[in-house]
Amino acid sequence: MTETQGQYVQYAFWRLDSVFHNLESNERIVAKQHFLGTWESFQNKALLVSYSLTGLRSDCDILCVRVADSLELLQDMTCRLQSSGVGKFMIPTYSYLAQAEPETRYVGKASAPTEFSPGQKRYLFFSPWVSEPGKRAKNAAPLQKAAAAHNLVLHPGLRGLEEYDDLLAAEADRTEDYAAFSAEVRVSRQETHSTVGPTFVATLKDIRDQIDALG
């Protein structure tokens, strides 16, 4: 990867097919172990943070924030996960892809001002936005200022690579903090953005705990 290229950040949503529960108990155990083994094989190649949407939405159960230096690595990981154990029963429901600004490096544990570590707070609020044609999006600084005022942490520097121009991912320990932030942001963004996609609310939860809870 060149010094001017940012990392690729993907927000991938999966729903568990209920057919998984028709397997025998020992088959489910093996399937979960196989999936987690594949997941762990990528932990030294990509940054992986998982969230749970179980009980919060009817169309998805797991959100995985994946950060990698290449699109090929994200593709390889997807293929291997979806062909391993429980992964065969994981139905992709949404996927949002962005490229982080080169000035920001996503890492597991930040130790410098230019580094960012996702998964710092209890909840993740994720929403894709679409810029209105002919209008320049506002600088990220006002967003960061509003987030700080409401005790939120934003995933910085995300440039949408698909139909959504701007991906907004905000972390908070209280839902009311995000609600106040969201109300403020919606007013300011009416000047530069024409439509907004769905907003997802997820709780930070280790993938091992999520897979173990599948039964």
pLDDT band, residue 2 (cuts 50/70/90): very low
Burial 181-214 (b: 16+ CB within 10 A, else e): bbebbeeebeeebeebbeebbbebbebeebbeeb
Q: CA-CA distance, 151 to 149, in Å (whole number)?
A: 6
Q: Which domains does the chain have, with CATH numbers?
A: 8-100 (3.30.70.1030), 120-202 (3.30.70.920)
Residues 6+ apart with CB under 8 A from 91: 14, 15, 16, 17
**Residue 6: band (very low, low, confident or very high) from pLDDT cuts 50, 70, 90:** confident
Q: What is the mean pLDDT of residues 102-120?
A: 94
pTM of the model: 0.91
pLDDT digits 0-9 by tens, 138-190:
556 778 889 999 999 999 988 888 877 788 899 999 999 999 999 888 877 76
Say what the pLDDT of residue 167 is. Answer: 86
- d(Cα 180, Cα 177) in Å, to the nearest integer? 5
Supply the DSSP symbol for 151.
Answer: T
Averaged confidence pLDDT in the chain? 90
Q: Is the pLDDT of residue 134 over 70?
A: no
Q: What is the pLDDT of residues 180-211, one digit of tens each?
A: 999 888 877 766 776 677 899 999 999 999 99
Report the pLDDT value the prediction gives residue 185, as an integer from 0 to 100: 83
The rounded distance, in Å, linking the Cα atoms of 211 and 86 is 8
Q: What angle do CA 196, 199, 205 make, to 5 degrees?
A: 150
pLDDT at 189: 72
Tell me the per-residue pLDDT of 36-55, one tens digit each, with 9 for 90 and over.
999 999 999 999 999 999 99
